[in-house]
Amino acid sequence: MGAMNTYVVLLRGINVGGKNKVSMAGLKGLLDELGFTHVETYIASGNVVLRSNRRAEAIRAQIEQAFPYRFKLDSELIKALVLTRDQLQDVIDDKPKGFGEQPARYHCDAIFLMGIESRQAVSAFSPREGVDRVWPGNGVIYSQRLSSLRTKSRLSRIVATPAYKYMTIRNWNTTTALLEMATRIDTEKEQAAPRRPQSSPRTIRKIPRRAKRRRTESGA
């Protein structure tokens, strides 16, 4: 049995355009039954933080296989992306300079990739100069739109491309909120973990010196 780890699960294809409706209570119930612990959901777009001693690939397969049996879906093209807390931390740490730091001016998204390289995925975008920007990252595309010209953005055209089925999109606020949740759960578990009692200092026994033999003088 492996060590327990905290994971962030991003579900693609649920609660989109009124299709594949899944309640967060129902989602949490399913994941509890599958044996995951500390399950928490975040808003209704398919974001979960949980703990498990399984590997990420095993978690992904188990969730994707269970969905059609539990929920009434309009399509079975539900995918799960399972990230460790460290992987999500890297996504945030490696963001372009200034990305997500002016929410009143720019709308920023993290486009997580599922089975496609970022260099290949970024070529599917056609950003409008002066409105849109995209940057390839490790397992993610960072996208930014100028809020005041959002209606002129071309980024939404990605939906019509073949590459879109390998992507799941989260706005930057959701991305950072999920990291905060995962970090909190990790911290709570570390604080709750029983500490090994400090052993008492060992008493060092002194070994008595061997008494010197007294030499006796014989009489004349």
- DSSP bridge partners of 8: 49, 83
Distance of CA 212 to the CA centre of its chain: 72
How many Å separate Cα 69 from the centre of its chain? 25
pLDDT tens digits, 131-184: 999 999 999 999 999 999 999 999 999 999 999 999 999 999 999 999 999 999
Domains, the chain, in order of start with CATH, read 5-191 (3.30.70.1280)
Three-state DSSP class for 71?
A: coil
pLDDT in tens, 63-113: 999 998 999 888 767 899 999 999 999 999 999 999 999 999 999 999 999
Q: Look at residue 202 and tell me whether its pLDDT is greater than 70.
A: no
Rounded distance, CA 169 to CA 160, Å? 15
